[in-house]
A and B are shown apart, each in its own frame.
Chain A
Amino acid sequence: MMSAVDDKPTPSREGASSAFTLGPLVAGPPCCTPQTHISIKSVTLSYGRIPAIRDVSLDIYKGCITALIGPSGCGKTSLLSCLNRLTDLIPGCHVEGRIAIDGQDITTPDLDVQRLRRRVGMIFQKPSPFPLSIWRNLEMPLREHGVTRRDELEFRIEKALADVGLWAEVKDRLGSAALTLSGGQQQRLCIARALTLEPSTLLMDEPCSALDPLSSAVVEDLIQSLKGQYTVVIVTHNLAQARRIANYAAFFWVKERAGTLVEFDQCRTLFDQPRHELTAAYVKGLQG
């Protein structure tokens, strides 16, 4: 039982209908009826001849936060970059298997990659605003995707900035350099930049690990607030954070030099009643 998921929450385990999240957090309604958004089937990814992840199958549910956890080098970043075809940019990188988003296969060579990346936004570990003004950072991707009317640009940019809680902080200095913002603000700007394109999915690769604890908490709250509206896949080494925010969690481990999926379950179940002993050891912090 490596890849399939119990679609019905098992009452014997938790006995509550809000079994998808942890602690004081109450799961949002969209997560209670898991609906596959991204379906990953037998994906094997190799750099040159060397496989980095082998035979991973996984369903990502709509409107939920799915955390990918596991030790360094187990292929979490690699898996994320398959989902928006960023793997195309890496010479020698080669993906087999089938990945479908909303039922549409995204691994075909003739796919419109730019449109895919508009639907599937990505946030990196290191905040990477462009060395332009705050406004230009947000405007440029919009213009690239055909939004040119001034009022619509303004509306979308203000909305995205408000959604990440940055509007009040930057509304008087939209013309100043994005790199003058603090690290946490930069990361929120990057999230806003992805949101302006109105994606359905956000991929986040350790979005808080380069931030101080306070900014990290702000960004974490922001990610939580995205739940329900967006499908979020987040890679994190911070297990407490994964516990706090994720509805689902997938645990990866390196086997025979390639990352494989060991266990996928509701986050709470994976942490409290892991089925696999590797998972149990990892979440207890004994290994990895």
Chain B
Amino acid sequence: MPEPANLIDREIHPVRDRVLLGAVWAAAMLVAGAFVWLLADLLWHGAGRLDWSFLSTAPRNSGRAGGIWPIVVSTVLIVAVAIVVAAPLGLATAVLLSEFTRRGGTTERAIGLSLDVLAGVPSIVFGLFGNAFFSVWLGLGFSILSGGLTLACMVLPILIRTAETGLRMVPDDWRLGAAALGLSRTTALHQILIPVATPVLLAGLMLGIGRAMAETAALVFTSGYVDRMPSSLFDSGRAISVHIYDLTMNVAGGDRSAYASALVLIALLVLVNGAAIWLSDRTLQRKIATR
């Protein structure tokens, strides 16, 4: 009897393996299908409303008419504040955890535990905290600044954990090699470890931005829902997700605007992702040259 050409085919058990194969494919299709459905639904309801004037004008009649330009600006500002504050803090903490504390030591465990608890806190709680602390206690009121700072607290655990993982993935050979050449920890970090970890750091940043951009509950009590164009960081500003929430819950006839706004939100996320990938490719080529 000649050998079957394809080893994989021969290896597949007629019943058991086929059931498994079917199950994993079905699961994958289900996930992909849910996303496609969602996107199709958004496009179906929202695409008609989406045009240049929607992007470039202010909302009128509670958002039923007009566009979302001030809201896009507010969203970008809030997320920018959050990332500008959280990214350096996150990186610094990650460096402390991965480079200067012993794995499984008391410091590492204590910080790690508080991060994991923080990551599990519902965003509405962050909203209440941000309102009490930034808006009232620090007197920032309902402003883009207090919204951004609240989001910074919220994304910090994600940023720290991913950055820590990224730094830990860098092989110890380079740490030892750097130390053996008499390089300081600072030089090693700045010249070798962080550049090598950049793709993971950027991926973490992306997760953080995604989470921040899609946030609603934490912002209602901090950055507020004024839909005018903000003139400074101390003005209140409405984020896209808050806008969508408001249109669907409080504005009769706002559905089409809500769908279109959701499309804009997804487009923004895709844009940021693309930028991150491009940036990470570029740093890979320019700074570190692996293989």
Contacts and interface: CB of A to CB of B under 8 A. Distances in A.
Interface of A: 84, 86, 89, 91, 113-118, 121-122, 124, 126, 128, 130-133, 140-141, 144-145, 176-180, 190, 193-194, 197
B179 A128 contact: no
A117 B173 contact: no
Given A124-B173, A176-B289, A177-B291, A141 B179 contact: no
B175 interface: yes
A163 to B, nearest CB: 17
Given A179-B291, A180-B289, A180-B291, A128 B181 contact: no
A177 B290 contact: yes
B181 A117 contact: yes
B20 interface: no
Contacts of B287: 132
A128 B174 contact: yes
B288 interface: yes
Contacts of B183: 114, 140-141, 144
Interface size class of B (residues with CB under 8 A): 20 to 34
A131 B181 contact: no
Contact of A89 (B175, B187, B192): B175
Most chain A C-beta atoms within 10 Å of own C-beta, residue among B176, B182, B183, B289: B182
A244 to B, nearest CB: 26
A115 B175 contact: no
B191 interface: yes
Nearest to B173: A128
20 contacts: A113-B182, A115-B182, A117-B181, A118-B182, A124-B177, A130-B178, A131-B174, A131-B196, A131-B289, A133-B289, A140-B183, A141-B183, A144-B181, A144-B187, A145-B182, A177-B289, A177-B291, A178-B289, A190-B177, A194-B180
B102 interface: yes
A141 B290 contact: no
B232 interface: no
Interface in B166-198: 173-184, 187, 191-192, 195-196
B218 to A, nearest CB: 39
Closest 10 CB pairs of A and B: A177-B289, A117-B182, A122-B180, A114-B182, A128-B173, A128-B177, A131-B288, A141-B181, A118-B182, A91-B102
A28 B180 CA distance: 28
A219 to B, nearest CB: 17
A140 B191 contact: yes
A113 to B, nearest CB: 8
Nearest to B285: A177
A116 B289 CA distance: 30
Given A117-B179, A128-B173, A128-B176, A144 B184 contact: yes
B173 A86 contact: no
Contacts of B192: 130-132
A180 B288 CA distance: 12
A190 B178 CA distance: 11
Given A126-B173, A128-B174, A194 B289 contact: no
B290 A131 contact: yes
Nearest to B103: A91
A205 to B, nearest CB: 10
A84 B290 contact: no
Given A130-B192, A140-B183, A141-B181, 16 more contacts: A89-B175, A89-B179, A114-B182, A118-B181, A122-B180, A126-B173, A128-B176, A130-B177, A132-B287, A132-B289, A140-B187, A141-B182, A144-B181, A144-B187, A180-B289, A194-B180
B176 A124 contact: yes
